[in-house]
């Protein structure tokens, strides 16, 4: 008999603080204080008074892209405060509060494995900013909420071509910065740090896969994965690894962090599939941040016409 034991970091879908309450909770707390109700509040305050790094605009070509959705953008405030970045804590507001002192310059990325041009690259040597473009993508979390964000970056394939993987490379492995002094969430045992993710090589080369350095016309905020993160819009958000410091080309499929932690709940592919429920909740519907009603979840997050061919003949219930 299989017994599903909840781990310390597990929340039920119903336990996740709704976005509209989360973003307005400081006003709610002020009103509660006047009524003497502060001790009953179920969620923490946002550290709005914390030192925030100044926002820097990016120079890029905002020409429409054939892969970009025309859906309404999520509010910038929501996208930069209601985030999952466990390196800074498991609460949706931890990263916005605690990531502001993250040192993102200088920043280097180690490239290794089955590759012709290995080495430690400065981020600006690896990512050609003359290629920056805007992609307006949906990004969906496994907790049944989603956002639409105008990302700025370059195709991951451009970086792959720059370092020239060998024919032996079948997968690409990504690794997040490990620095518990800067990332206090890494002092916990929530995950086996550093955070690791991976893609099959054909997935990584797909035009939808993006290495993002900005959003909403600005440099990435620390809480959103500065200075560089992956964006894979047909997969659940945890595949889009943040603050990348290592890119490895490998013959073997990498074991990603969530699959290692909870293999029954998280597979390697993490493709959005409304027909496969998470063991603890349905994934058939989602709530777009800023909306009240739920909407049906789309196969491959709505990008099926573009990416379904990558998984032709695969059992998507088995390879989830």
User: What does the pLDDT look like over 170-208, one tens digit per residue?
Assistant: 999 999 999 999 999 999 999 999 999 999 999 999 999
SS3 of residue 57 by DSSP: strand
Q: Residue 227: which residues within 8 A CB-CB, separation 6 or more?
A: 104, 105, 107, 123, 213, 219, 220, 243
CA dist., res. 55 & res. 218, Å (int): 7
For residue 2, pLDDT over 50 is answered with no
Residue 66 · residue 86 · CB < 8 Å: no
What does pTM read for this prediction? 0.85
* Dihedral of the alpha carbons of 207, 168, 251, 85, in degrees to the nearest 10: -30
Q: What is the mean pLDDT of the chain?
A: 87
Q: Residue 156: which residues within 8 A CB-CB, separation 6 or more?
A: 204, 205, 209, 210, 211, 230
pLDDT score of 27: 42
For residue 13, pLDDT over 60 is answered with no
CA dist., res. 47 & res. 76, Å (int): 17
The neighbouring-strand residues paired with 176 are 244
- Exposure letters 105-118 (e unless 16+ CB within 10 A, then b): eebebebebbbeeb
Which tokens in the block code for residue 15? 């336990």
pLDDT score of 6: 47
Residue 94 · residue 185 · CB < 8 Å: yes
pLDDT score of 52: 57
- Please compute Rg for the chain using Cα positions: 19
- The arithmetic mean of pLDDT across residues 157-166, rounded, is 98
Architecture of domain 46-261: Alpha-Beta Complex (3.90)
CA dist., res. 219 & res. 228, Å (int): 9
**190 closest CA partner among 10, 1, 3:** 10
Window from 51-55, 130-134, 175-179 with minimum mean pLDDT: 51-55
């Amino acid at each position: 008999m299989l017994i599903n034991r909840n781990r310390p970091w597990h929340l039920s879908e119903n336990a996740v603080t709704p976005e509209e309450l989360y973003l307005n909770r400081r006003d709610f707390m002020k009103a509660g204080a006047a009524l003497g109700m502060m001790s009953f509040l179920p969620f923490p305050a946002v550290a709005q008074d914390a030192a925030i790094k100044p926002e820097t605009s990016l120079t890029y070509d905002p020409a429409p892209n054939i892969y970009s959705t025309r859906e309404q953008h999520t509010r910038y405030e929501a996208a930069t405060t209601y985030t999952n970045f466990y390196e800074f804590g498991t609460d949706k507001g931890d990263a916005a509060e605690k990531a502001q002192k993250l040192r993102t310059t200088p920043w280097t990325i180690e490239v290794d494995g089955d590759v012709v041009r290995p080495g430690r690259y400065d981020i600006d040597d690896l990512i050609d900013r003359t290629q920056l473009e805007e992609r307006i993508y949906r990004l969906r979390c496994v907790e049944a909420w989603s956002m639409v964000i105008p990302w700025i970056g370059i195709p991951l394939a451009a970086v792959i071509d720059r370092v020239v993987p060998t024919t032996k490379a079948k997968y690409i492995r990504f690794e997040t910065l490990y620095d518990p002094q800067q990332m206090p969430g890494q002092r916990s045992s929530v995950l086996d740090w550093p955070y690791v993710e991976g893609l099959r090589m054909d997935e990584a080369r797909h035009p939808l896969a993006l290495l993002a350095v900005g959003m909403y016309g600005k440099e990435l905020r620390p809480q959103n994965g500065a200075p560089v993160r992956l964006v894979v819009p047909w997969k659940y958000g945890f595949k889009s690894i943040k603050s990348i410091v290592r890119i490895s080309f490998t013959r073997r499929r990498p074991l990603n962090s969530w699959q290692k932690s909870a293999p029954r709940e998280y597979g390697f592919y993490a493709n959005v599939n409304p027909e496969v429920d998470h063991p603890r909740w349905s994934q058939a519907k989602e709530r777009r941040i800023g909306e009240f009603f739920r909407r049906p979840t789309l196969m491959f997050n709505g990008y099926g016409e573009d990416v379904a061919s990558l998984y032709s003949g695969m059992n998507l219930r088995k390879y989830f």
